[in-house]
């Protein structure tokens, strides 16, 4: 009877350890994902146009969230811009650099 009790206790301890490890592994994967930014700026327009501040060339039109000063974007030709001014639904962006991605 004592031997069966020991086996039962060790089995429960082992099972608890397995569930603990599984729980930690699953929780660890969730911590790595970043939550969406909490924007405190209310959306006032249906869309925003982002243009180059020097040439006023249209870089992007965005409808998912408001554009604010300090926002950054990388265009399809890998040029990085920073928004320096927003007037109504037009944001003016300044060219910063050409980004080189590793392949």
* Per-residue confidence (pLDDT) for residue 94, from 0 to 100: 95
Instruction: Decide if 59 is inside a domain.
Output: yes
Interval 25-40: pLDDT, tens: 776 655 455 555 555 6
Instruction: Decide if 4 is inside a domain.
Output: yes
* Whether pLDDT at 66 is above 70: yes
Q: What is the mean pLDDT of residues 56-66?
A: 89
Query: Is 66 in the same domain as 94?
Result: yes
* Whether pLDDT at 3 is above 50: yes
Determine the structural domain holding residue 1 and report its residue range. Answer: 1-33
- Total domain count for the chain? 2
Query: Is 4 in the same domain as 27?
Result: yes
Instruction: Decide if 40 is inside a domain.
Output: no
* Per-residue confidence (pLDDT) for residue 26, from 0 to 100: 73
For β-strands 58-62 and 48-52, DSSP reports them as antiparallel
* Per-residue confidence (pLDDT) for residue 6, from 0 to 100: 78
Query: Is 69 in the same domain as 28?
Result: no
């Amino acid at each position: 009877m004592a031997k069966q009790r020991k086996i039962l206790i060790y089995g429960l301890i082992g099972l608890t350890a397995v569930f603990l490890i599984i729980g930690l592994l699953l929780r660890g994967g969730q911590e790595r994902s970043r939550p969406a930014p909490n924007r405190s700026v209310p959306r006032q327009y249906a869309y925003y146009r982002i243009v180059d501040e020097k040439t006023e060339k249209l870089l992007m039109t965005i409808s998912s969230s408001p554009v604010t000063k300090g926002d950054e974007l990388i265009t399809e030709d890998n040029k990085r811009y920073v928004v320096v001014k927003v007037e109504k639904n037009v944001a003016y962006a300044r060219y910063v650099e050409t980004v080189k991605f590793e392949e």
